[in-house]
Amino acid sequence: MIEIKKKEGESVNAFLFRFTKKIQRSGIIKQSKKTRYHDRNQNVRARKESALYRLNKKKETNRLKRLGKI
């Protein structure tokens, strides 16, 4: 956790600048952006079902292409 105290006689703009620089250097923003859209891993059963669905869909499109319907 980052803690920054305002120095005596320091303007708000200078304090804000110092604060943003400290946050950027700490890597907090970079890490939060990296994990923002992180998806959880699927379980094994869901992965298998998804793979089988894609395989069946591909076979069906190939069959329809051969028949001239696509």
Where do the domains of the chain lie?
A: 9-38, 43-70
The residue that leads in pLDDT, 35 or 64, is 64
The span from the CA of 4 to the CA of 27, in Å, is 16
What tens digit of pLDDT does each residue of 1-44 get?
A: 788 999 999 999 999 999 999 999 999 888 988 888 888 888 99
* 62 has pLDDT over 90: yes
pLDDT for the residue 17: 96
pLDDT for the residue 1: 79
* 63 has pLDDT over 90: yes
